[in-house]
A and B are shown apart, each in its own frame.
Chain A
């Protein structure tokens, strides 16, 4: 353990948290020079396992047909629907998920374990089952859907709203769990200090808590967006499958697989390309900001 005196750059700036853990990230990382084989080998396996299927897609895709397939009305329509619904879903997920995470991370919350188990339900539920479950509540004959339909004549299934509901359902846990993790890891004393200085709870949350857990929220939002973009099972079950209104990219790919596996490969590459591009762009912005 390095003594505080050997860290002159830090010891003055941070007297309160003067610990080895604090110094670690500002030092020139010593582990970069030699990566232990015990870590390097499994890491390489993991990377290959993730990347190889993508390579397979790219190699096997019939690029000669790419022009026709990728500019076809079906593909662009589905891509547009996917991007719009996934983005709207993430906004909704943020609006309701961050407060839920904050509630979960409160110390001494009664029944927190049960609550956390409930929140992970969409993670363990097969998405198709999630779609059926949504039917039972929000379908035209569902618990809430039936009175809604009687009163207004509106029903969620077969509309883009159903696509968004399905995506929010499956994506919400990703945000809640990562934001909760960030909240637990953050230093509560800043909130306490703000509170003792007279800030009201809402002000503490807005001015202290949110900036502290910004990266956690961003990570959760990325997870949720990626999950929403790839959502298939709950969507095809609950929202149906109609071009322009509910047929998102994953559904388009699945349908293309029925008749033209080649174009299914091309569409998959398109979806992956767009999502990776968006994630890379966002990351660039975060790196600049934080």
Chain B
């Protein structure tokens, strides 16, 4: 019995080695999937072919910028605006690493500074501001009354990680309110935080006012006075390695124009 097993298991050892290599490779792919989801579209490379530009913008700008992009294209025939939305910090890293893009709209001066400090962007301009709001599942089923509920250990709370702008703003708000928050999760970006509320997995979260509006029917917002102490300004800048600086500048100008500002105001953004 033993001797008959030898040849078969010899082959299997090779299989084990192959399997181990394959497993590591596959798991590495799985790990990489998420950051790549926010990577800039490869279509940016064809920007010289016409008026195509790629705009990297903070996740909280998704709805407003998608609309502005459509309006801009309609007003400037022949132009094509491609967006890549994501965490401002991730986008900033991608730009510093040489991502082919033309405009960067960040959710905080700090993330924009990463890019300007690396010499990758022209002088930024503040174009809107945003305040935090408490987001609760539709109808507030867990009876959240205010910011003090965030210090209650028994509640399920989602916040943004302090490394990303919405998390940095939350830290500031809690410092002003003298509350020690007891979060259950520190999410990577504001949309991920909001998703936890929308699916009723948490009782409450701190997100931007604009996100509550964008979420529509799935969440309700609760304003709180301390939010005024952590108003977040959004800077926008054209990028140094833009292949189409004229269209990039035109897009930035359009965002700053009354038409662009009107779309942003409708989404809940305030003047900078």
Q: Which residues of A contact B186 (CB under 8 A)?
A: 240-243, 247
Q: Given A25-B10, A50-B25, does the pair A257, B35 have CB atoms closer than 8 Å?
A: yes
Shortest Cβ distance from A143 into chain B, in angstroms?
Answer: 13
Cα A266 to Cα B162 in complex, Å, equals 21
Shortest Cβ distance from B183 into chain A, in angstroms?
Answer: 7
Q: Given A186-B8, A275-B24, does the pair A290, B89 have CB atoms closer than 8 Å?
A: no
Interface residues of A in 212-234 (CB under 8 A from B): 212, 214-216, 218-220, 222-233
Cα A20 to Cα B11 in complex, Å, equals 15
Segment among A63-71, A98-106, A107-115, A133-141 that sits at the interface with chain B: A133-141
Chain B residue nearest to A253 (CB atoms) is B31
Cα A250 to Cα B34 in complex, Å, equals 11
Q: Given A25-B10, A128-B37, does the pair A255, B27 have CB atoms closer than 8 Å?
A: no
Shortest Cβ distance from A175 into chain B, in angstroms?
Answer: 10
Selected from A128, A231, A259, the residue in CB contact (under 8 A) with B89 is A259
The answer to whether B82 has its CB under 8 Å from any CB of chain A is no
Q: Which residues of B contact A94 (CB under 8 A)?
A: none
Q: Write the B26-37 contact mask toward A (1 if CB under 8 angstroms, else 0).
A: 111011111101
The answer to whether A201 has its CB under 8 Å from any CB of chain B is no
Selected from B19, B27, B199, the residue in CB contact (under 8 A) with A139 is B199
Selected from A14, A21, A222, the residue in CB contact (under 8 A) with B3 is A14
Q: Given A158-B156, A257-B35, does the pair A286, B13 have CB atoms closer than 8 Å?
A: yes
Cα A265 to Cα B10 in complex, Å, equals 37
Looking at A174, A219, A250, the one whose CB has the most chain B CB atoms below 10 A away is A219
Q: Which residues of B contact A170 (CB under 8 A)?
A: 30
Q: Are B9 and A135 in contact (CB under 8 A)?
A: no
Cα A225 to Cα B16 in complex, Å, equals 13
The answer to whether B12 has its CB under 8 Å from any CB of chain A is yes
The answer to whether A24 has its CB under 8 Å from any CB of chain B is yes
Q: Which residues of B contact A26 (CB under 8 A)?
A: 6-7
Cα A273 to Cα B10 in complex, Å, equals 27
Q: Are A229 and B27 in contact (CB under 8 A)?
A: yes
Cα A224 to Cα B22 in complex, Å, equals 11
The answer to whether B200 has its CB under 8 Å from any CB of chain A is yes
Q: Are B12 and A17 in contact (CB under 8 A)?
A: no
Interface residues of B in 145-198 (CB under 8 A from A): 156, 158, 161, 163-164, 183-188, 192, 196
Q: Are B89 and A258 in contact (CB under 8 A)?
A: yes
Shortest Cβ distance from B56 into chain A, in angstroms?
Answer: 15
The answer to whether A150 has its CB under 8 Å from any CB of chain B is no
The answer to whether A176 has its CB under 8 Å from any CB of chain B is no
* Chain A residue total in the interface (Cβ 8 A): 68
Q: Which residues of A contact B93 (CB under 8 A)?
A: 257-258, 261
Q: Are A17 and B4 in contact (CB under 8 A)?
A: yes
Cα A253 to Cα B8 in complex, Å, equals 41
The answer to whether B201 has its CB under 8 Å from any CB of chain A is yes
Q: Are B28 and A135 in contact (CB under 8 A)?
A: no
The answer to whether A182 has its CB under 8 Å from any CB of chain B is yes
The answer to whether A116 has its CB under 8 Å from any CB of chain B is no
Q: Which residues of B contact A97 (CB under 8 A)?
A: none
Q: Which residues of A contact B27 (CB under 8 A)?
A: 226-231
Q: Are A227 and B188 in contact (CB under 8 A)?
A: no
Selected from A21, A214, A258, A279, the residue in CB contact (under 8 A) with B163 is A258
Q: Which residues of B contact A287 (CB under 8 A)?
A: 13
Q: Are B7 and A22 in contact (CB under 8 A)?
A: yes
Q: Are B30 and A127 in contact (CB under 8 A)?
A: yes
Interface residues of B in 249-263 (CB under 8 A from A): none
Q: Are A215 and B16 in contact (CB under 8 A)?
A: yes
Q: Are A236 and B188 in contact (CB under 8 A)?
A: yes
Shortest Cβ distance from B136 into chain A, in angstroms?
Answer: 14
Q: Which residues of A contact B139 (CB under 8 A)?
A: none
Q: Which residues of B contact A182 (CB under 8 A)?
A: 12
Q: Are A227 and B13 in contact (CB under 8 A)?
A: no
Shortest Cβ distance from B110 into chain A, in angstroms?
Answer: 10
The answer to whether B87 has its CB under 8 Å from any CB of chain A is yes
Q: Which residues of A contact B42 (CB under 8 A)?
A: none
Q: Write the A258-278 contact mask toward B (1 if CB under 8 angstroms, else 0).
A: 110100000000000001000
Q: Are A14 and B22 in contact (CB under 8 A)?
A: no
Selected from A218, A240, A257, the residue in CB contact (under 8 A) with B196 is A240
Residues in A lying within 8 Å of B, measured CB to CB: 13-14, 16-17, 21-22, 24-26, 50, 126-128, 135, 139-141, 155, 157-158, 170, 174, 178, 182, 185-187, 212, 214-216, 218-220, 222-233, 236-237, 240-243, 246-247, 250, 253-255, 257-259, 261, 275, 279, 283, 286-287, 290
The 7 lowest CB-CB distance pairs between A and B, nearest first, are A230-B27, A240-B185, A215-B12, A226-B23, A223-B23, A258-B89, A219-B19
Offer 22 A-B interface pairs, CB within 8 angstroms, sorted by A.
A22-B7, A127-B34, A141-B199, A155-B156, A157-B185, A158-B185, A215-B12, A222-B20, A223-B23, A224-B23, A226-B27, A232-B32, A236-B188, A241-B186, A241-B187, A257-B90, A257-B93, A258-B87, A258-B161, A279-B20, A283-B16, A287-B13
- Knowing that A226-B23, A233-B30, A255-B163 touch, tell me 11 more A-B residue pairs with CB under 8 angstroms: A126-B33, A127-B34, A128-B33, A135-B199, A141-B199, A158-B185, A222-B19, A232-B30, A236-B188, A241-B186, A258-B90
